[in-house]
A and B are shown apart, each in its own frame.
Chain A
């Protein structure tokens, strides 16, 4: 069972482009990425798209399908009505290299700015020990694929181009995973407030809505980090309490 579906696919680069119309044969069980590959094979051999695992784990085939940031390999074609027009565009928060491929290298540079895991001193018995329930909490953040759909949909980056002052939700997740780790000893609160620009986030939760791994980015990562920044910089009572206890953290 197959039918032809109407696709509008972005063709162009960062200087401009257009949505070009195609009619593509779609078979049962296909996902959007399959249709893009069929389009490449049959009508547009010069169409550029990035992909790798085709299993929703590598995060390479991120795109906007009918305006919604999705992994093309995880979006089934039977979600669409047979007569529906399907629009496929590249990510909109990064420079377009060509067609559906964007330059996401800015993210790799941001990642380098985050101090890595720094283990606490060992216990007297020479071991590090943590409980399963403490691991569970940070495990959620380890599910991140680095598909950058959250970075793409974040209006601070997407609509305001604040790449030089805001790390974006993906790296708030990484910061949360490190900051909440029971054995980590580094302090990243100053970084979160200043270089990472957590104050730019106005918690409108688009990042959470698009995460293919269902990480509760806003509630479990960004807001807890904002609260830690508030502890340090915006809460005179907490500052007084720390001063009395003679602690810096």
Chain B
């Protein structure tokens, strides 16, 4: 039964809302724009992405855009020498693009589909949402999740490395910046809707499922974290960019890393 709704006659942006409904999508669009421009520039640079204390044999900080450093692990593979960040950043981009919260953010702010609730779209019946290409590919989110868990493990390796100043335990502002990035990225991944489903959301009867009690507890924990998934999305996006910027400024000697001990 198809019928024409009153709202189908509304033009793009037409609404009787009197609040600042446009502020939220505009702020999200601006944040995305700043991040994408900066991340693209930082990824193409291919230098100034590590920093260590003067005279140290090995770096202490590495930009999250370049972690894991494939060019370091596989020096004989020529491909990794070109745009080394490329081999890393595609994964978080794919994970965030297919993320259930990320989808809301860019559907609203970039694609204006819809920009805000009960605001006109000026669109007709030509809409397929995620039932057809390309957006049906968002169903692959769980595969990017499996891969990003590996990336998070590398982030934790570089977290510990950020407290290793040429073989001695230490801490600088950069250590805290990398710690914030690692912890927030881990929380963002742990609070993912697909994690919630895989860990217990797919179970209907916990009392009859194998390891049901453990899965219930895990599901409850992830469900609690999941309430803050949007917060972790933005916080981890900002800290990953800031970590790269901080390390880049230190590496370029524009900023001096402050050592606490």
Contact = CB atoms under 8 A, between A and B. Distances in A.
Given A109-B1, A155-B113, A161-B125, A227 B207 contact: no
Nearest to B3: A95
Contacts of B141: 230
A92 B3 CA distance: 12
Which 6 A-B residue pairings sit nearest by Cβ, starting from the closest? Answer: A199-B131, A67-B17, A206-B117, A227-B197, A234-B139, A92-B7
A206 to B, nearest CB: 4
A240 interface: no
B1 A67 contact: no
B6 A161 contact: no
A182 B209 CA distance: 10
B2 A164 contact: yes
Contact of B5 (A89, A95, A206): A95
Nearest to A87: B16
A121 B204 CA distance: 15
B204 A181 contact: yes
B207 A161 contact: no
B111 to A, nearest CB: 9
Contacts of A226: 139
B204 A182 contact: yes
Interface of B: 1-8, 10, 15-19, 100, 103-104, 107-108, 113-114, 117-121, 123-132, 135-136, 139-142, 193-194, 196-197, 201-202, 204-208, 216, 226-227
Contact of A160 (B118, B124, B207): B124
A173 to B, nearest CB: 16
Contacts of A219: 193, 226-227
Among B6, B128, B131, B132, the most chain A Cβ lie within 10 Å of the Cβ of: B6
Contacts of A99: none
A interface bracket (residues with beta carbon within 8 Å of B): 35 or more
Contacts of A50: none
Contacts of A14: 6
Contact of A67 (B16, B100, B114): B16
B5 A161 contact: yes
Given A227-B142, A230-B139, 9 more contacts: A67-B16, A89-B16, A134-B204, A152-B118, A199-B136, A200-B129, A203-B104, A230-B141, A234-B136
Given A69-B118, A159-B7, A202 B135 contact: yes
A92 B124 contact: no
B106 to A, nearest CB: 10
Given A64-B16, A204-B104, A92 B5 contact: yes
A68 B19 CA distance: 10
A153 B117 contact: yes
B226 A157 contact: no
A137 to B, nearest CB: 9
Nearest to B18: A66
Interface in A32-88: 64, 66-69, 87
16 contacts: A67-B18, A92-B5, A93-B7, A95-B3, A134-B204, A158-B7, A180-B204, A183-B205, A199-B131, A203-B100, A219-B227, A223-B100, A223-B193, A224-B193, A230-B142, A231-B197
Given A67-B15, A209-B117, A227-B197, A157 B130 contact: no
A96 B4 contact: no
A61 to B, nearest CB: 17
